[in-house]
A and B are shown apart, each in its own frame.
Chain A
Amino acid sequence: MPSASDTVTAPGAAPAPPGPAAGRPRLGRVLTIAAVVALAAAVLAFPGLAPNPYILSAGIVVLNYAVLSTSWNFVGGFTGYISLGHGALAGLGGYGTGLLVTKAGLPSLAALVLAMLLVALIAVPIGFAALRVRGASFVIVSIALVLIMLLVFQSWASVTGGSRGLVVPRPFPDLLRPEHHRVFYYLYAGLLALALGVWWLIDRSRFGLGLKAIREDEDKAEALGTPTFAYKLVVFVVSAAFTALSGGLYALWFGDLDPVFQFSILTGSYMVLMALLGGVRNLFGPLVGALVVGTALEFFKGSFGNTPLHLVATGVLLGLVVMFMPDGVLPALRNLFARFDRTRQSSIREVSAAELRDQRLQSTGGKA
């Protein structure tokens, strides 16, 4: 006798489609493609629409946040390891680029790439030590990284400039400020596209499958043959490389580095917040989070000055999202659209015991 909890195939149901690409495209897929195209068009058109250089520079800050949170999401989204120390990697990228330009005399682009490679190299021993622990222990280790770097770069004034800061010469000295902003805006847009592309490729790869298994249950993934530690280390290094590129680009754009801001816990916290807000399991989750939080931060700073008000607003926003959209904005929107998408109906559905009894009575002509 079937129970009410049984799930059985409903007789007469249509056969399941062989894959998502088969048949009529789903409404959700069409909407997703439309949203991505609209977002890409808006990002590319923004410099032409920005009314003044200040707004354009705010756009660069938001894009910087988008790259940073997408870079963080290589580790946080795929493996579930919450790092609050990625600010240190961005700071290392920034200082690495700045020092290679000022002290070694390298061209800006070469300094940026070399700094990225150096940070990736440094990330190997850091990851080797930090990724041996999980959960809260990993979070604490990642915070310690930021604090250690802050101390080193503040104290080592003969090289880093210490609390006086480090001035990085502009890579395009002939450009006026609006043009300078415009060039860096597109450089950041390109870097964001690259980071998203790599995340997308990993998400669809065998490597990504192993990483997601780590996120779900690391012990079980290991028992099934996934080389968990090696995978975590590789994705940490990839994440560090993108984070360093973003930090390096910031150094070349902003031109002035201060250890207090470069090695701040807040930077890493914003990356986590933005990714969680948009949805860590989604390619565009960190980008959406950065657009919301980054824009709000710039608005509050522009409207109310450097008060703690933007932090309060950020906290309230995070609280609302955790309460009403715990998986993030994008999964919540996807669920909303799924309600209206009739093409998503499965060939299999839950059938109650009463329904099953009725179907059997019908099929036997009323003979129970």
Chain B
Amino acid sequence: MASEIELVDVQAGYGRAAPVLRGFSVAVPAGSVVCLVGPNGAGKSTVLKVASGLLKPRSGKLLVRGRDVSGLGPQRMLAEGVALVLQGHSVFREMTVEENVLLGGYTIADKAKIAERVEFVKDLFPVVADRWRSLAGLLSGGQQKQVEFARSLMVDPKVVLLDEPSMGLDPKATSTIFEQVVRMRDAGAAVLLVEQNARRALETADIGCVLDLGRVHISGPASELLADPQLGELYLGGRPAEPPVAPKR
């Protein structure tokens, strides 16, 4: 299956410090969720910064649908159909849900297209439709996250980058968020998901990828990673409930 976005042998870091990513590669096929898990400091968020154009890779390639877009800034990446949903709550709190969502489509000039996308995200996220005229800051954490999802989908992105979407949410809101991730995938987006809640994320994802020290430690179908006892012990906080199945290494 063709990849919507692909990082090839990427080295990246901040300032003159040692690189955080050291030859990292990942491919996100269309209509799939790829989940990056790993310990703190492994470089998960740095992957998203490179993929969204916020951080220029020192070497390696960033490909979107096979085209090299290494070094493009965040606005150009948005135009390439790559949308980023930041860690934590990044809604405009003093603006309404409507205004937040419309800002997501700010680069679209065609009014008919904007109206069409608004209807699309309202259908996808009922809470956005229900709270359309509320101030975004008055919504619960889970609802704010859905507004951010809706905002990111306004530009009809081919790739959605999600940085720890369940951070700070209670279990019920977390479940809702992961359901929405699946709905985004089903709507056609390729999703690259970074998540600390590794077990829950792998249950949602199609492909799992474990990062450690800036490199891919192991990758394969998410269900197989979940079932790996060694992986469960090292990265997922315990042994899996099901009998183990060896992942592809």
Contact present for B103 and A213 (CB under 8 Å):
yes
A5 touches B131 (CB 8 A): no
**Is B40 an interface residue when CB atoms closer than 8 A count as contact?**
no
Chain A proximity of B160: nearest CB distance (Å): 14
Which stretch (A108-116, A187-195, A217-225, A316-324) binds chain B? A217-225
> B183 on the interface (CB 8 Å rule)?
no
- The answer to whether B106 touches A226, judged by C-beta atoms less than 8 angstroms apart, is yes
Would B130 and A7 count as touching, CB distance under 8 A? no
Within B73-107, the residues touching A (CB, 8 Å) are 74-75, 78, 84, 90, 92-95, 99, 102-104, 106-107
Whether, in the assembled complex, B173 has its beta carbon less than 8 Å from a beta carbon of chain A, the answer is yes
Tell me if B110 counts as interface (CB < 8 A to partner A): no
State which of B31-39, B60-68, B132-140 sits at the interface with chain A. B132-140
- Range, interface on chain B: 20 to 34
- Supposing A1-B172, A9-B130, A346-B134 touch, asked if A221 and B103 sit within 8 A by C-beta, the answer is yes
A59 at the interface (CB under 8 A from B): no
B14 CB to closest chain A CB (Å) equals 17
The complex places the Cα of A217 from the Cα of B134 at a distance, in Å, of 19
Q: Is A212 an interface residue (CB 8 A)?
A: yes
1/0 per residue, CB under 8 A from B, across A10-24: the answer is 000000100110000
Q: Within B179-233, which residues are at the interface with A (CB < 8 Å)?
A: none
Least distance between B8 CB and chain A CB atoms (Å): 25
- CB-CB < 8 A to B132: which residues of A? 16
Docked Cα-Cα span, A281 to B99, in Å, equals: 15
Among A7, A210, A221, find the residue whose CB has the most chain B CB atoms closer than 10 A.
A7
Contacts known (A5-B170, A346-B134); A209 close to B99, Cβ less than 8 A: yes
Chain A interface residue count, Cβ-Cβ cutoff 8 angstroms: 29
Please indicate the chain B residues that have their CB under 8 angstroms from the CB of A20 in the complex: 133
Would you give the shortest CB distance from A357 to chain B, in whole angstroms?
14
Report the separation of the CA atoms of residues A9 and B129 in the bound assembly, to the nearest whole angstrom: 12
Q: Is A347 an interface residue (CB 8 A)?
A: yes
Residues of A16-46 whose CB lies within 8 A of B: 16, 19-20
Contact partner, A225, options B106, B143, B170, B173, Cβ 8 Å: B106
In whole angstroms, how far apart are the Cα atoms of A20 and B96 in the complex? 13
Residues of B within 8 A of A3 (CB): 170-172
Tell me if B74 and A216 are in contact (CB < 8 A): no
A212 to B84, CA, bound (A): 21
Contact A2–B103 (Cβ < 8 Å): no
B133 contacts across to A, CB distance below 8 A:
19-20
Q: Name A's interface SS.
A: loop
Q: Are A7 and B143 in contact (CB under 8 A)?
A: yes
Whether A6 is near chain B, meaning CB under 8 Å from some CB there, is: yes
Q: How far is the CA of A223 from the CA of B78 in the complex (A)?
A: 8
Q: Are B170 and A216 in contact (CB under 8 A)?
A: no
Cβ distance B129 to chain A, nearest Cβ, rounded Å: 8
- Among residues 102 to 148 in chain B, which have CB atoms less than 8 Å away from a CB atom of chain A? 102-104, 106-107, 130-134, 139-140, 142-143
A31 CB, min distance to chain B CBs, angstroms = 19
Asked if B172 contacts A6 (CB within 8 A), the reply is: yes
Interfacial residues of chain A within 165-209, with CB under 8 A of chain B in the complex: 206, 209
Closest to A347 in B: B130
Chain B CB within 10 Å, residue with most, of A1, A209, A225, A346: A225
Please measure, in the bound complex, the distance between the C-alpha atom of A257 and the C-alpha atom of B245, giving whole angstroms.
87
Interface residues of B (CB under 8 A from A): 74-75, 78, 84, 90, 92-95, 99, 102-104, 106-107, 130-134, 139-140, 142-143, 151, 170-173
Q: Please list 13 pairs of residues, one from A and one from B, whose beta carbons are closer than 8 Å in the complex, sorted by A's number.
A: A3-B170, A5-B170, A6-B172, A9-B130, A206-B106, A209-B99, A209-B103, A212-B92, A213-B103, A213-B106, A216-B95, A220-B90, A222-B75
Give chain A's interface residues, CB within 8 Å of chain B: 1-3, 5-7, 9, 16, 19-20, 206, 209-210, 212-213, 215-217, 220-226, 281, 346-348
